[in-house]
Amino acid sequence: MKPAPFDYLAPVTVEEACAALAEAGGGATLLAGGQTLLPLLNLRMSQPFIVIDLNRVAALKGISRGQACTRIGAMTRQCEAIASAELARALPVLVKAVKHVGHHQTRNRGTVGGSIALGEPAAELPATAVALDAIIEIVSVRGKRETAAGEFYLGPYMTTLEPDELVTAIRFPDWPQGHITLFREVAQRPGDFALVGLVGALVVEDGKVARAGLAWFGMGPTPIRARSAERMLLGQPLEAIEANAVAERAVADTAPFDDHHASAEYRRTVGARIFARTLREAFPAKEAA
């Protein structure tokens, strides 16, 4: 239960971090909050030659306003995201999602960018980024690039990130004030990864759904956007929405798996239930009607 030996580097600029990563040629691993990496090191499931610690890179920290978006530096800690008045105003569903990541003690170290870059399929933040059309900013010695969160995830812990690249920030486009937020997860204990989870947002204009972004977590090898359900919702008057039918369609987009926590069938069943319930709770008027 002790890590294999490694070299440790603590760059203070993004350029230094990129240079170290490029020089290591795939033998290095990036240390963000460490709340996933340290267990992997301790269990020797990961044995890098070099650990590049990003905690002293000031340029990767902080939450700022961009053009019609909120930009979260990759090394912003989860506890800072929860405490941010800016995020509470602009992205309430993201704050709700972060509160479900791990425990108080791990959120004090864990980072937003670390979780997004790791790509755990049952994690809250990658799905939130996919649901809300976030843009992931990436840098390497070869230059900068950006990718939509929806195109970033390839499989469990697999992303389009190259070995010499690092995530610098995540940009979340603005959603209008008063938009409807959707979040629910089922986990065995608080702090556990979700067995099934759902996150998203809806914009209602003139009583109809004008914009929808919904994604599942724990329902396949990556976060999964509920595109068919979004198409069903768009343009619908609120009173015409059949929550159960939309939920069935949303589950049809998923590819859940069996593991020792739950079967795929369980995940589909619970997924449909929580989707319908979350939709119904989002429109209390419909239930009264």
Partner 1 sequence: MSEHRISMTINGLRHVSNAEARVSLSDFLRGNAGCTGVHIGCEHGVCGACTVIVDGLAVRGCLMLAVQAEGAEVTTVEGLAAGDGTLHPVQQALYDEFALQCGFCTPGVVMTLAALTAPGSKANEQQLLAAMSGHICRCTGYQGIRRAAKKLAAAPAGEQP
The Cα 126–Cα 113 span in angstroms is 9
19 or 79: whose CB is closer to partner 1?
Answer: 79
Q: How many residues does the chain have?
A: 289
Binding partner 1 (rule: CB under 8 A), the pick from 79, 88, 203, 264 is: 79
Which residues on adjacent β-strands are paired with residue 169?
Answer: 73, 137
Buried-exposed string 115-136: b where 16+ CB fall within 10 A, e elsewhere = bbbbbbbbbbbbbbbbbbbbbb
Confirm or reject binding of residue 12 to partner 1 (CB under 8 A): no
Give the CA distances from residue 204 to residues 33, 169, 211, 282, in Å, rounded to whole numbers and listed in that order: 37, 29, 7, 11
16 or 53: whose CB is closer to partner 1?
Answer: 53
Please identify, among the stretches 185-193, 213-221, 228-236, 261-269, the one whose residues bind partner 1 according to the rule CB under 8 A.
Answer: 185-193
Confirm or reject binding of residue 41 to partner 1 (CB under 8 A): yes
Binding partner 1 (rule: CB under 8 A), the pick from 2, 67, 85, 177 is: 2
Confirm or reject binding of residue 43 to partner 1 (CB under 8 A): yes
State in angstroms the smallest separation of the CB of 43 from partner 1: 6
Binding partner 1 (rule: CB under 8 A), the pick from 62, 92, 191, 221 is: 191
Confirm or reject binding of residue 39 to partner 1 (CB under 8 A): yes
Number of shown-chain residues binding partner 1 (CB under 8 A): 31
Residues 6+ apart with CB under 8 A from 228: 249, 250, 252, 253
Give the CA distances from residue 147 to residues 107, 192, 200, 244, in Å, rounded to whole numbers and listed in that order: 26, 29, 19, 33
Confirm or reject binding of residue 55 to partner 1 (CB under 8 A): yes
State in angstroms the smallest separation of the CB of 37 from partner 1: 9
Give the CA distances from residue 222 to residues 75, 121, 158, 159, 284, in Å, rounded to whole numbers and listed in that order: 22, 5, 9, 9, 31
Confirm or reject binding of residue 58 to partner 1 (CB under 8 A): no
187 or 264: whose CB is closer to partner 1?
Answer: 187
Confirm or reject binding of residue 143 to partner 1 (CB under 8 A): no
State the first-to-last Cα distance of the chain, in angstroms, to the nearest integer.
58
Confirm or reject binding of residue 260 to partner 1 (CB under 8 A): no
- What is the phi-psi region of residue 218: left when phi exceeds 0, alpha when psi lies from -120 to 50, beta otherwise? left
Where does this chain bind partner 1 (CB under 8 A)?
A: 1-8, 10, 31, 34-35, 38-39, 41-43, 51, 53, 55, 79, 102-106, 108-109, 189-191
